[in-house]
């Protein structure tokens, strides 16, 4: 985190990137840039990062966020145990936005019509990602919650038997939180390893913590269908069921949220960054946003 601050606060805030408002963009498109807009999670990762750098470079920048608060999915990344310091990056970006005159407007869902009306010179879309929900899951089933709903405390689950589907980072971190809230948690995944993409040391700590919390990991098990109180699954070619759960939390990964981008087909000045371009992690989102903001 400290390194991230250095990158955000020191390196990029250096005078070398400063460009006055109205100047030709460095390596840009041969046009005079007068105004930018980032539609984002005003959330950290991509949108705010691009915004404050462009603000620093002298452009007039507005960030729109449909949720009432800034932070995007990275706010949720900061909820699990030992990850609270992730939230500091959001605060740092917001501070830089304030310092460089970026207008951050929350609670506004951006539409094509709004963009046409406002007539921005450049539009940066960092609209993030949405959870992947396989067809065999009926989200209208009342005891099925997304990991995002659990991590944002939109759905509160206490002292229940909970089944988490998917043992990627989001699945196991959600399981961790649920177990800390007194739930009896089982996590199912078709892979042999939980959180396979997590870096080695944090993964080791995470696995030890899952064990201490007595979270049950049922790996090498493919979910076939979801029932009112459990699932049917297949393990080594043998079918079986897990039953008796109060609540089911699918965490099958994310896919790009391209709803707004799709509606803007034909707009010449649209740039996609972060999860909206390809679902990944915050590091990738920040990198793409930084690169774009320095190029424009």
Ligand X SMILES: Cc1cc2nc3c(=O)[nH]c(=O)nc-3n(C[C@H](O)[C@H](O)[C@H](O)COP(=O)(O)OP(=O)(O)OC[C@H]3O[C@@H](n4cnc5c(N)ncnc54)[C@H](O)[C@@H]3O)c2cc1C
Q: Where does this chain bind ligand X (CB under 6 A)? A: 39-41, 43, 45-47, 64-67, 72-74, 76-77, 109-110, 126-129, 151, 169-170, 173, 257, 260, 274-276, 280-283, 285
Contact 51, 61 (CB under 8 A): yes
Contact 126, 77 (CB under 8 A): no
Minimum CB–partner distance for residue 195 and ligand X (Å): 10
CA distance linking residue 196 with residue 172, whole number of Å? 11
CA distance linking residue 178 with residue 154, whole number of Å? 13
Nearer to ligand X, 33 or 176 (CB): 176
Nearest Cα residue to 39 out of 272, 249, 211? 272
Nearer to ligand X, 49 or 221 (CB): 49
CA distance linking residue 289 with residue 29, whole number of Å? 17
Nearer to ligand X, 46 or 102 (CB): 46
Minimum CB–partner distance for residue 247 and ligand X (Å): 17
Minimum CB–partner distance for residue 40 and ligand X (Å): 5
Nearer to ligand X, 32 or 259 (CB): 259
Q: How far is CA 239 from CA 121, 133, 182, 189, 227, in A?
A: 57, 22, 30, 14, 15
Place of tokens 């269908």: 225
Minimum CB–partner distance for residue 5 and ligand X (Å): 15
Nearer to ligand X, 30 or 199 (CB): 199
Minimum CB–partner distance for residue 24 and ligand X (Å): 28
Q: How far is CA 249 from CA 78, 88, 162, 285, in A?
A: 19, 28, 7, 26
Nearer to ligand X, 47 or 230 (CB): 47
Minimum CB–partner distance for residue 227 and ligand X (Å): 26
């Amino acid at each position: 985190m400290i390194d991230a601050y250095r990158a955000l606060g020191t390196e990029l805030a250096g005078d070398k990137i400063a460009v006055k408002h109205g100047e030709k963009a460095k390596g840009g498109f041969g046009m005079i840039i007068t105004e930018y807009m980032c539609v984002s999670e005003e959330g950290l990762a991509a949108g705010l990062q691009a915004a404050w750098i462009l603000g620093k470079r002298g452009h007039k920048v507005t960030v729109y966020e449909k949720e009432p608060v800034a932070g995007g999915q990275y706010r949720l990344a900061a909820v699990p145990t030992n990850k609270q310091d992730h939230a500091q990056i959001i605060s740092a970006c917001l501070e830089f936005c304030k310092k460089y005159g970026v207008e951050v407007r929350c609670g506004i869902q951006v539409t094509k019509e709004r963009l046409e009306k406002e007539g921005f010179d450049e539009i940066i879309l960092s609209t993030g990602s949405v959870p992947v929900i396989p067809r065999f899951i009926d989200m209208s089933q009342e005891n099925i919650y997304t990991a995002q709903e659990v991590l944002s405390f939109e759905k509160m689950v206490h002292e229940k038997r909970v089944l988490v589907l998917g043992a990627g980072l989001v699945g196991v971190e959600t399981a961790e939180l649920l177990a800390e809230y007194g739930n009896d948690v089982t996590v199912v995944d078709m892979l042999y390893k939980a959180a396979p993409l997590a870096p080695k040391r944090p993964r080791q700590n995470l696995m030890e913590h899952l064990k201490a919390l007595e979270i049950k990991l049922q790996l090498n098990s493919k979910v076939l269908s979801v029932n009112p109180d459990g699932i049917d699954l297949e393990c080594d070619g043998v079918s079986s069921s897990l039953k008796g759960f109060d609540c089911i939390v699918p965490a099958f990964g994310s896919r790009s949220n391209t709803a707004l981008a799709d509606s803007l087909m034909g707009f010449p000045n649209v740039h996609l960054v972060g999860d909206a371009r390809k679902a990944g992690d915050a590091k990738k989102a920040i990198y793409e946003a930084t690169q774009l903001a320095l190029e424009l």
